[in-house]
Amino acid sequence: MTEPQTAEIPKTESEAESTRELPPVVADQLDDEVAPFRPGVAGWLARGAVWALLAWVVFAIPGNVLSPFHLGVSDVGHASKAAIFAIIGLSLNVLIGYAGTISLGHQAFVGVGGFVSAYVVVDMGLEFWLAVPIAAAVGGLQAALLGAVSLRLTGLYFALVTLAYGVFAEETLFGITAFTGGEGGKNVPRPIGFGDDYSFYYLCLAFLAVVLWADWRLVRTKGGRALQALRENPRVASSYGIDVKAYTLMAFVVSGIFAGIGGALLAQQSTFLVPETFDFELALLFVLMTVVGGLRNRVGVVIGSVIFALLEEGTLVHLLHIDGFLDSTIGLPAEFFGLVVGPFLLLLTLTLYPGGIGQQIAPISHWLRGRKFDLHAGKVTEVEVADVRA
Amino acid sequence: MRIRKRLRLVAALLSIVAFTVIAGCGLKPGIAQLYAPGGTGYGAQGALPGQPAVPGQSGTFAGAPGGTELDALPGSTASGQQYGTAGTGGTTAAARGSGSGGQAAGPTAQAVAGPADTTGVTESTIKIGLHAPVTGAAAFPQRSFERAVGVYASYINSRGGINGRNLKVLFRDDGFDPNKARAVCKDLALQQKVFLIIGGAGSDQIDSCARYANSVGVPYISAGVHETRPGLGPLSALSTYYAASLTYEQQSPLLSRLVTQQFSGQKIGLMVASNDSLDNYFAVQQESLERAIGDNLEFAERVPKTIQSEAPTIAAQICNSGVEAVVWNGAPSGLINVSKSMTCDVRFLGPGNTNGINIVATGGCPQLDNAQFFSGFPQLDKINQLDPAFEPAYRKENDGADPDDIGIAMWGIEKLISQMLAAGGKDLSRQSFMAALDSGQTFSNNVYPPVNFGQSRFGGTGMHLLRADCSQRQFITERLNVK
Amino acid sequence: MITELGIAVINGVFIGCVYALVALGIVLIYRASGVFNFAQAEFGTTGLFAAYAGVVLWGWPYWLSFLFGLAVAMAMGLATERLVINPLRHASRVTLLVGTAGVALAAIGIQFWKSNEQPIRQMPKIVNGIAAEPFGTAVTYQHLVTLGVLIVVAAALAVFFRSPSGLALQAAQQEGTAAELVGISVRRVSMMTWGIAAVLGGLAGILSGPNLTFTAGYLTFGAGAALLPGFMAAVLGGMRSMPGAVAGAMAVGVIEQLGSLSIFGYYTGGGAMMLFFFLLIVLLVRPQGLFVRKAVAT
């Protein structure tokens, strides 16, 4: 398996499990032929410059610090939304990428997170900082409940149950006025200190960082390794004593927690929540952005999610100033860009770059981490044979 | 291997083209983009940090003290929703203010808005925003809006503008989603810094955006929709909201009168969609009909918001009840779905609200023949008599394209807004604008029935009555200014 | 009450006919490629749009437009097989599922974009008029035609699976490698299955289109939403049984219509809740399906 992450594990293994320090020889062996490469001074400078540029784009531009552009509040709002979508993408990545099962009702998890958070803040009058853990806990709980009942079904049947659950949540759960505030929606105030869109963006970034860290830790725990084993072959894994159902349930719960956090932030981001936002199309969008981003590739998932979040609003088209061009050449108005182009991106990714954006950017990301520039880095010939348990 | 992949790419691209051709053949080709919906303002959008204060502005309008409106604003913030932070009165400083200060400053900043708020107004232009759904579940044709928005603005600009200022209209798609509607209204209010916002269509989107506009002190004008919503309170409590035509509730006596005139002694049914925003309308209309026709009101029911597989059941219910006519307020597509499963002949009547009602006529014929709906604007058969300037201006702006009813609706509302802006005076500010509306002045422009906000924020005085004519496949204007 | 029940059963059966056509396609493809085909309903909508373009926009005769619609649906099915399913044949089933969902979304996106001039459209019926009015509900000729087509299709499929090519198809589906060894082209079989399934989807779309108005995504989550009911019907039939899928479709159609009885009238989302728990219980208690005698080897 030419999975990029397996090659990195030895480097940080000692941090995760401090049982015994591994001899460096092992790392060298796993890094195989190109291992001894060390960039020169110019190389380090170039890499540093690119890192600085990236940091500038992520941290400085949205805050209008050291920036030649002027981003208005709704531009920064889109950036916040992109960060939240990245959290949701990572949530789905745990499920599809690590556990090899798919959820087609993820909009329900995000929606429940959002409404719980809104309920805690508005109806119970508690603080946002309390609402997020509660939303996360409820997200985990509903995943545990749904999972406990339905994880004895595997693969496609499980997907069907999540699909039906999504529709059920959309039409029944979110129809409960006392919980959601009715069709007219509910106003959700932002936490003190993060009222304006600029500081709220950094709050979203902070949560994204926490989720990234949690995801990174997850992969390195015993559970993460077990997930990897059972995804490759559940029968072999269970014969080695891995409790397939328990670990899949764990992945489902973690995914639910992440989705709950994403939902809570989404409620705060728009400061207004209506039930009809969380429809089946949103669930498909979540799956789309995760797969296009590249399963099991954190950076790829984040980039994919950001792209789709911006596509959805038509922001990307405006930012690139191609709306007039698209309309005059193929008659595609900017409003329809995401709707039409997104699915084709998905299909092209699946068939040509099964590793998604994560695969496409692998040469650059490897180079940035101090390795040689290799155009064929991170090559995945096809999305791995993961789940054939249906 | 690589060649095969190339081939696959080529094949994929070819299939895209093929799908496009299949799906697109015979549909009208796109015309050149005349009005970029994206607006112009990414980047250095004039960020007017110091709003020029015009002292004594509101003094020119006696009996319309700016203070009453401004008092209402802190009131709405005090009810527990801390909106003030999102941006107060559209000043950049408040929106970008430091995080900690923003929250506390919210309510106070509203109160300080004493000096005239001239956001969106410069020496030479007035910038206003408009939102409507052109994507989403019940979208209106995007091209129609693209052509329609800004036609009147160009017309008035070519004739000297409004008190010497050019009118500029920014259009945003709200995706038929109240959440997105709020996001685009935030964009219009705080980033594009428009003077006022117009709600183009869709009652839920209008509701959502009107409440947001109120929270940031931006005037908001739409056609009349529902008056109140459970849990969120009446729209008339919003200090910046103005309905430029009769609300559903206000139309209910007109409907009852129409029913008694046309179907005296015959059985009538009432069906209203189960949206909670229509709860109040349902109660009001039921009571009004009971008063007008008594026991002849055979049934009064709520129907699902979207009628799909339920359509045959509802159709059978109508036909089994033996009613002659049904008063209907719900999604137009649901009405067509029901009418397609009917075994009997029933006339439909309803309060009118939506633009693009001709979609219903083209989709619903022949079952909906003679259906009657109220509307805030006349149809193509009467517009040339009422306002001869419309069609030439529309064709000029759109390379000779045929006008449609969305064109009329947008023309009418832009014309109305222009009159209101002109009434706001040379030193236009949000205060002077709203004071002019509240002063009780009647705005009459031959497209919309006269509008007067002296009594209430629901300022419509009448409606036009439309009738579906299936031989022409469009709605015709049966009577003007029904009161 | 009797009247209401009667209306629900009659409408349920006729809506069930459409679900059955979709479910048959889903079962066929599941047997051939082992994938839940989320694009199945979109074959129907695309066919409907094509037929609509023929009848209304270009003024073709109805039969020609009908065939054109089916041809477009079939072309879409074959293109899906060639461009998405075949390249992904070694990928996981979940990936394949995402691929078919991508095909559906792409089709919906194009429909939204291209039908924007007039978002709500109406397809004329094959034969206008009402055949009977039991309980005051309309049984149109269109309904009867749909029922007839379903019977013919079911019979044709039954005959086909006993013919040599039908047997070859079954062989290839059960054991691809062995079938290759005895000279059956798995590739051709796969294409044939997708072609047939797409035509079934096309029939569902073009026949049910005139009953309601249609928009982009009509058969997936629009007015005629038949994707989820189709899946439920297929699951009730154990995903592999064709008679089971047809019976399941009728059951789903009637259950759904029962949800619109006036006793549930004011309970929002009652129908969706019923379907969810129904599906959950069926999957947990009888994962092999309701309408099959014993579990079919998967």
How confident is the model over C23-42, as pLDDT tens digits? 999 999 988 777 889 899 99
Question: What is the C-alpha separation between C119 and A267, in angstroms, rounded?
Answer: 31
pTM recorded for the entire structure: 0.80
The answer to whether position C205 is within a domain reads yes
Interface touch A185/B178, C-beta < 8 Å: yes
Contacts with A159 from chain C: Cβ below 8 Å? 36, 94, 97
The answer to whether position C296 is within a domain reads no
What local confidence, expressed as pLDDT, does residue A133 receive? Answer: 92
Residues in chain A: 390
Nearest-neighbour CA in chain A from C205: distance (Å) = 20
At B94, the pLDDT band (50, 70, 90 cuts) reads very low
Question: What is the C-alpha separation between A52 and C208, in angstroms, rounded?
Answer: 58
What local confidence, expressed as pLDDT, does residue B321 receive? Answer: 86
Interface touch C84/A382, C-beta < 8 Å: no
Of B368, B388, B279, nearest in space to B325 by CA:
B368
Regions of chain A where pLDDT drops below 70: 1-36, 154-155, 313-316, 318-324, 326-328, 376-390
Contacts with A77 from chain B: Cβ below 8 Å? 183, 186-187
At B359, the pLDDT band (50, 70, 90 cuts) reads low
What local confidence, expressed as pLDDT, does residue A110 receive? Answer: 93
List Cβ<8 Å contacts ≥24 apart for C68-71. C69/C202, C69/C205, C69/C206, C70/C199, C70/C202, C70/C203, C70/C206
Question: What is the C-alpha separation between A112 and A256, in angstroms, rounded?
Answer: 10
What local confidence, expressed as pLDDT, does residue B298 receive? Answer: 85
Question: What is the C-alpha separation between A271 and B81, in angstroms, rounded?
Answer: 10
Establish if A178 touches chain B: CB-CB under 8 angstroms: no
Of C240, C234, C168, nearest in space to C201 by CA:
C234
Whether residue C274 is predicted with pLDDT greater than 80 in this model: the reply is no
Which contiguous run of DSSP H or E holds residue B241? strand B241-243
Q: What's the average model confidence in pLDDT over B80-100?
A: 35
Nearest-neighbour CA in chain B from A42: distance (Å) = 34
Whether residue C175 is predicted with pLDDT greater than 80 in this model: the reply is no
Interface touch B336/C122, C-beta < 8 Å: yes
The answer to whether position C290 is within a domain reads no
Chain B, 26-65: which have a CB under 8 Å from a chain A CB?
29-30, 32-33, 36-38, 41-45, 47
Virtual torsion, Cα B86, B91, B97, B101, nearest 10 deg: -70
The fold for domain B125-246+381-462 equals: Rossmann fold (3.40.50)
Half-sphere exposure of B434 (CA within 13 A, CB side): 27
Question: What is the C-alpha separation between B354 and B63, in angstroms, rounded?
Answer: 35
What local confidence, expressed as pLDDT, does residue B362 receive? Answer: 65
CATH 3.40.50.2300 fits B249-375, yes or no: yes
Of A159, A347, A384, the CB nearest to C99: A347
Of C233, C253, C250, C236, nearest in space to C290 by CA:
C236
Q: What's the average model confidence in pLDDT over B61-86?
A: 35
Q: For chains A and C, what is the number of CB pairs under 8 angstroms?
A: 157
For chain B, the distance separating the N- and C-terminal CA atoms, rounded to the nearest angstrom, is 75
Contacts with B10 from chain A: Cβ below 8 Å? none
What is the number of structural domains in chain C?
A: 1
What local confidence, expressed as pLDDT, does residue A384 receive? Answer: 47
Give yes or no for a contact between C178 and C50, defined as CB atoms under 8 angstroms apart: no
Residue B482 β-bridge partners: B463
Question: What is the C-alpha separation between B385 and A104, in angstroms, rounded?
Answer: 55
- Residue-number span of the structural domain to which C73 is assigned: 2-285
Of B341, B470, B347, B335, nearest in space to C210 by CA:
B341
B249-375 matches B125-246+381-462 in CATH topology: yes
* Closest CA in chain B for residue A330: B30
Question: What is the C-alpha separation between A377 and A365, in angstroms, rounded?
Answer: 9
DSSP string, A151-174: TTS-HHHHHHHHHHHHHHHHHTGG
At C272, the pLDDT band (50, 70, 90 cuts) reads low
Q: Which two tokens stand for residue C283?
A: 């999957």
Nearest-neighbour CA in chain C from A339: distance (Å) = 5
What local confidence, expressed as pLDDT, does residue A90 receive? Answer: 93
Of B20, B143, B336, the CB nearest to C213: B336
Question: What is the C-alpha separation between C283 and A33, in angstroms, rounded?
Answer: 51
Whether residue B54 is predicted with pLDDT greater than 50 in this model: the reply is no
Question: What is the C-alpha separation between A239 and B227, in angstroms, rounded?
Answer: 66
Of A100, A164, A173, the CB nearest to C279: A164
**Exposed, middle or buried, A120 (CB in 10 Å: 0-12/13-18/19+)?**
buried
Give yes or no for a contact between B208 and B421, defined as CB atoms under 8 angstroms apart: no
The answer to whether position C297 is within a domain reads no
Whether residue B353 is predicted with pLDDT greater than 70 in this model: the reply is no
Establish if A73 touches chain B: CB-CB under 8 angstroms: yes
**Which residues, at least 6 apart from B363, have a Cβ–Cβ distance to it below 8 Å?**
B332, B333, B336, C118, C120, C121, C122, C213
Nearest-neighbour CA in chain B from A57: distance (Å) = 15
Nearest-neighbour CA in chain A from B113: distance (Å) = 19
Interface touch C137/B343, C-beta < 8 Å: yes
Where are chain A's structural domains?
Answer: 72-278
What local confidence, expressed as pLDDT, does residue A140 receive? Answer: 93
Q: What's the average model confidence in pLDDT over B240-267?
A: 87
* Closest CA in chain A for residue B186: A74
Q: Please report, rounded to a whole number, the percentage of residues in chain C having pLDDT higher than 90.
A: 29
Where are chain B's structural domains?
Answer: 125-246+381-462, 249-375
Q: What's the average model confidence in pLDDT over B196-200?
A: 88
β-strands B372-375, B228-229: how paired?
Answer: unpaired
Contacts with B47 from chain A: Cβ below 8 Å? 70
**Exposed, middle or buried, C152 (CB in 10 Å: 0-12/13-18/19+)?**
exposed
Residue type, C296: V
Q: Residues of A17-50 as b/e, b for ≥16 C-beta within 10 angstroms?
A: eeeeeeeeeebeeebeeeeeeeeeeeeeeebeee
What local confidence, expressed as pLDDT, does residue C196 receive? Answer: 92
Helical pair A4-16 and A197-220, crossing angle rounded to 10 deg: 90
* Closest CA in chain B for residue A74: B187
What local confidence, expressed as pLDDT, does residue A115 receive? Answer: 92
Question: What is the C-alpha separation between A383 and B110, in angstroms, rounded?
Answer: 56
| Coil, helix or strand at residue B229 | strand
User: How far is CA C254 from each of CA B160, B407, C274, rounded to the nearest angstrom?
Assistant: 65, 44, 12
Give yes or no for a contact between B29 and A327, defined as CB atoms under 8 angstroms apart: no
Q: What is the pLDDT of residues B225-249, one digit of tens each?
A: 888 888 788 888 888 898 888 888 8
What local confidence, expressed as pLDDT, does residue A378 receive? Answer: 62
Which contiguous run of DSSP H or E holds residue B170? strand B166-173
**Going edge to edge, which strands form the sheet with B268-273?**
B297-303, B268-273, B325-329, B347-350, B372-375, B463-469, B474-482
Interface touch A324/B33, C-beta < 8 Å: yes
Q: Which two tokens stand for residue A21?
A: 């320090």
Chain B, 329-348: which have a CB under 8 Å from a chain C CB?
332-333, 336-337, 340-343
- Say which range, B335-344, B420-429, C58-67, C264-273, has the weakest mean pLDDT: C264-273
Q: Which chains sit next to C, with 3 or more Cβ pairs under 8 A?
A: A, B
DSSP string, A279-317: -HHHHHHHHHHHHHH-TT-HHHHHHHHHHHHHHHHTHHH
What local confidence, expressed as pLDDT, does residue B9 receive? Answer: 53
Question: What is the C-alpha separation between C27 and C32, in angstroms, rounded?
Answer: 9
Interface touch C103/A343, C-beta < 8 Å: yes
Question: What is the C-alpha separation between B215 and B433, in angstroms, rounded?
Answer: 18
Q: For chains B and C, what is the number of CB pairs under 8 angstroms?
A: 132
Question: What is the C-alpha separation between A283 and C104, in angstroms, rounded?
Answer: 14
Establish if A179 touches chain B: CB-CB under 8 angstroms: no
What local confidence, expressed as pLDDT, does residue C262 receive? Answer: 59
Q: What is the pLDDT of residues B441-451, one digit of tens each?
A: 888 888 888 88
Give yes or no for a contact between B412 and B101, defined as CB atoms under 8 angstroms apart: no
In this predicted model, which residue has the larger pLDDT, A358 or C143?
C143
What local confidence, expressed as pLDDT, does residue A343 receive? Answer: 86
